[in-house]
Amino acid sequence: MPELQLQQKTSYELIEEQSRLNEIARELKSAPVISLDVEVNSLDPHSAKLLLFQLAVPDKAYLFDARHLDLRPFQEVLGDEKILKIAQNAKFDYGMLKELVGIEIVNIFDTMLAERVLTCGLTKLGDLSLVSLSRKYLGLELSKEIRKTFENHLRDFTKKQLDYAATDVLVLFPIYEVQKARLEKERLEKIASLEFKLVPVVSEMELRGFLIDVERWRRAIDDYRRKAKEVDQKMQEELRPYSRATQKDLFGNHANVVNLNSPSQIMEAFRRVGLDLPSTGEEILARHDHPLAKLLLEYREYEKIISAFGDNLLAKINPKTGRIHPDYMQIGADTGRFACSNPNLQQIPTDSLFRSCFIASPDHKLVVADYSQIELRIMAELSEDPVFMKAFREDQDLHALTASQMFGIPLDQITKERRFQAKSINFGLMYGRGAKSLAAQLEVSEEESRQLLDKYFRQYHRVKTWLDSVAREAVRRGDSTTLGGRKRYYEKVTPADPNYERQASYIERQGKNTPIQGTSADITKMALVNIRQRIRKEKLDAVPIHTVHDEVVVEARTSVAERTAKIVKEEMERAGEELLKKVPVKVEVAVSDVWEH
């Protein structure tokens, strides 16, 4: 079989004439399935040049010299809902074709996403490359060396380059065939289909990017820089008497005694002062009522923001667009959640000092919408706990209600502390949290913490049985499932394994959390797909530009912002109600000039 593929891969045609391109564009309209790929001289669609565009049917590849040809005739084929388009990491090709040609692909099968869906939890991201997939499914060793040579775009393409380009599209067919069968066998077609429909949303999210108020951001960071410096100097002075190092620099300034960013140096310096710590983590420092511990915590708070978000964020502004264009990894987490990087806009501090620096384009507004307590609602739905379900149906303050029922106190007499304890349990349970760790957070004894959990489970009996059941099943079956039909697989563990207890309890915690977190991801993804569809149907000037797990940010022209907000709310709730039948879904939406709720 691999030999046969090798034979087939060399069947290609290089097209340099527009008339021939037009002819093929007409012919391909009757093809049920095609594969596609692009070769470009840059990964940034805003500055890249399209060099080669590849299309294929199972036995032949067409290589179009994109430097000299008008690819727009392919709009009809690529935009045809009846023709399936196979691509590896389709987000990339979609973005390039949209930005550089103005073509939008519909009906996508992405071999990379398919593989991620099929092996979720078992594979590393590197295993998703076309090289890995070809090896796994075809026993074929691809070489990616040639790709780099596409940078020189003035010369004729070499035979090696053309072979490479043809192979890249031809291998997609046999890979697709096997993946398709496996998706059906594992009942993963539905979730894979959702992921495929999400590709254009994610690609457009990256293309559009987010506008930053640079001056405002600089002021916020400078403010933190000043504060950090003050604390740093204070600490150096406090620690200097205990240090042997007393050097001064050329200007007579004292050298720093300790690098506050180095945990090992901190540990050593603190020990000399008589502050002997097992670690310099936040928890430990907070527990010690020592002025130096307090100062260090303050320093870390400032330093973290400065280093992680300061100039580095501004450095990510694209010179061509003046905006931030992060990379969204569509199935970044094994639960199905997105991941975001370069920069990770999913970890911008919630403080409005920072979020308000993310702004709408001129003449635009931001529609910011998020689900209210979606994960707890999912836990209520999945566990079918009657008390939990009733609380959501009556739109009650769930944490206060939990406290009221646990402690037998009327709702209006719940103290902040009681509510906090109840809230900690509500959230903690979704992570598989135990009595010991709960005791640490609540600063009570392990025995008291155990009693709190007992009280909780007496009220929410079904929550306990559900959690125990999914935990057990995760270990026994080796997978977890979400309401959207997503699966997460776990490495097999056996009682014979010396680490069995530790591994099994880890899988148990993941088994409790994955159906909840994963279903939340399913819902947000369904919403994003439907929001885009509605926006296009009504021809609104609006586009999703960001998502943070249970939150969606859409940039809309001011004139249609209110209408967009209505659609976003409707579609998010509809997506939620598609999967949650026993519990209502609540979405809060705001229209604003900046990223805030």
Closest CB to DNA among residues 278, 495: 278
Instruction: Give the nearer residue to DNA in terms of CB position, either 157 or 456.
Output: 456
In DSSP terms, 590 is beta-bridged to: 368
Question: What are the backbone angles phi and psi of residue 205, rounded to the nearest 5°?
Answer: -60, -45
Give bridge partners of residue 543 from the DSSP assignment. Answer: 555
Q: What is the 3-state secondary structure (H, E, C) of 322-337?
A: CCECCEEECCCCCCCC
Interface stretch with DNA, choices 171-179, 239-247, 294-302, 582-590 (CB under 7 A): 294-302
Of 312, 356, 96, give the one whose Cα is nearest residue 211.
Answer: 356
Q: Are 532 and 507 spatial neighbours (Cβ–Cβ below 8 Å)? A: no
When asked if residue 301 is in the footprint of DNA (CB under 7 A), the reply is yes
Q: CB of 592: closest distance to DNA in angstroms?
A: 15
CA distance 404 to 419: 8
Task: Find the Cα–Cα–Cα–Cα dihedral 100, 101, 104, 106, rounded to 10°.
Answer: -100
Q: Which stretch binds DNA (CB under 7 A): 41-49, 55-63, 307-315, 408-416?
A: 307-315
Among 314, 310, 309, which residue's Cα sits nearest to residue 324?
A: 314
Please report how close the Cβ of residue 470 comes to DNA at its closest, in angstroms.
12
| Beta bridge partners of residue 364, listed in sequence order | 557
- As beta bridge partners, residue 479 has 489
Chosen residue from 551, 555, 571, 573 binding DNA by CB under 7 A: 551
- Give the distance between the most distant pair of CA atoms in the chain: 83
User: Site for DNA (CB under 7 A): which residue of 402, 517, 519, 564?
Assistant: 517
Binding mask 145-184 for DNA (x = CB under 7 A): ----------------------------------------
CA distances from 376 to 410, 505, 583 (A): 22, 22, 10
Nearest approach in angstroms of CB 134 to DNA is 22
Cα–Cα distances in Å, from 413 out to 401, 402, 405, 417?
11, 13, 12, 11
Q: Does 115 bind DNA (CB under 7 A)?
A: no
Of the candidates 418, 417, 391, the residue with the CA atom closest to the CA atom of residue 407: 418
Using the minimum distance from each CB to DNA, give the nearer residue, 333 or 444. Answer: 333
Q: Does 91 bind DNA (CB under 7 A)?
A: no
Number of residues that bind DNA (CB under 7 A): 62
Residues facing residue 57 across a β-bridge: 60
Give every CB contact of residue 337 below 8 A, 6+ residues apart in sequence: 331, 517, 518, 520, 521, 549
Q: Is 333 in the site for DNA (CB under 7 A)?
A: yes
From the CB of 271, what's the least distance to DNA, in Å? 13
Q: Give the per-residue contact string, 480-509, with DNA (x = CB under 7 A; - = no).
A: --------------------------x--x
Helix ranges restricted to H, 156-277: 159-170, 172-185, 189-208, 214-239, 263-272
- Looking at residues 436 to 475 of the shown chain, list those that interact with DNA (rule: CB under 7 A): 436-438, 440-441
344 is an interface residue for DNA by CB under 7 A: yes
Which CB sits closer to DNA, 67 or 323? 323
Helix or strand (DSSP H, E) at 15 = strand 12-15
| Complex with DNA: residue 335 or 383, whichever CB lies closer | 335
Q: Interacting stretch for DNA, rule CB under 7 A, among 11-19, 210-218, 376-384, 424-432?
A: 424-432
Binding to DNA by residue 548, rule CB under 7 A?
A: yes
Q: How far apart are CA 291 and CA 296, in angstroms?
A: 9
Q: Judged by CB, which is closer to DNA: 39, or 334?
A: 334
User: How far is residue 219's CA from residue 215's CA, in Å, rounded to a whole number?
Assistant: 6
Residue labelled with tokens 């709009």: 75
Residue (37 or 334) nearer to DNA, CB = 334
In the complex, minimum distance from the CB of residue 342 to DNA, in angstroms, rounded to a whole number:
5
Q: Which span sits near DNA by CB under 7 A: 334-342, 554-562, 566-574, 588-596? A: 334-342
Shortest distance (Å) from residue 122 CB to DNA: 12
CB of 473 to DNA, least distance (A): 16
Among positions 248-287, residues that touch DNA (CB under 7 A) are 259, 261-265, 278-285, 287
Cα-Cα end-to-end distance for the chain: 56
Binding residues for DNA, rule: CB under 7 A, are 259, 261-265, 278-285, 287, 297, 300-301, 304-305, 307-308, 312, 329, 332-335, 337, 339-344, 346-351, 427-428, 431-434, 436-438, 440-441, 506, 509-510, 513-514, 517, 548-551
